[in-house]
Amino acid sequence: MSSDHQRYSIVARILHWAMALMFLFMWACGYAMTTLVAEDGPLEEFLFGLHISVGVTLLGLLIARLAVRILTPPPPLPAALTRFERLGSRLAHVGLYLLPAVVIAIGWAETDFGGHGVSWFGVAMPKVLPTRDELFGIELEDLLADLHMWLAYSMLILAAVHVAAVAKHRWVDKRDVLHRMTFGGG
């Protein structure tokens, strides 16, 4: 089968779409809990707990996805891609693995430093970092909350560029790369 018709493994495809949906939820939830709902209210507390639980789930799925990527390498890029497109694809994919890991780690650190504790749907997770208000005069929880938010938005921008590149290949270049990550025939 030519590289233009090969697909990612079924497990990689399932993980890709499950994580994509969860990250869409995370961006919406993060925006809602920090912008749309009353501060320190029951809805905000519920959304924070749900956001943290889904974040822990995403960490597990990210680890699984990395293992799948190592054990079942992706199909080669289509032969018709330019050198620039190949480089862009590789850099974007590295970013789409690294940014989630960093965003999740910073979110966990923010929660630990703030003394809130990370839990996964009610199950307490290990406390990785001590409760600490500040370091060298810097409010850790606030700094990490801002960093978590801006890196999450950076990841959203990278995901949008990823989707735009897939659309460009499909509808402008007439070289469908989406089928590599879908479940239908063809």
Specify the pTM: 0.92
54 within domain boundaries: yes
158 within domain boundaries: yes
According to the model, what pLDDT value does residue 176 have?
A: 84
Token pair of 66, please? Answer: 């990395």
33 within domain boundaries: yes
Instruction: Work out the average pLDDT over 10-22.
Output: 98
28 within domain boundaries: yes
- Three-state SS across 125-170? CCCCCCCCCEECCEEHHHHHHHHHHHHHHHHHHHHHHHHHHHHHHH
110 within domain boundaries: no
Model confidence over 138-183: pLDDT tens digits? 999 999 999 999 999 999 999 999 999 999 999 999 888 999 999 9
Position 3 pLDDT exceeds 60: no
108 within domain boundaries: no
Number of domains in the chain: 1
Position 186 confidence tier, pLDDT thresholds 50, 70, 90: low
According to the model, what pLDDT value does residue 181 have?
A: 95
AA letter at 71: L
141 within domain boundaries: no
140 within domain boundaries: no
**8 in Cβ contact with 74 (< 8 Å):** yes
According to the model, what pLDDT value does residue 184 have?
A: 81
**57 in Cβ contact with 100 (< 8 Å):** no
Planar angle of CA 143, 149, 154, nearest 5 degrees? 125
More confident residue, 186 or 14: 14
Structural domain including 57 reads: 10-102+146-181
Model confidence over 91-115: pLDDT tens digits? 999 999 999 999 999 999 999 999 9
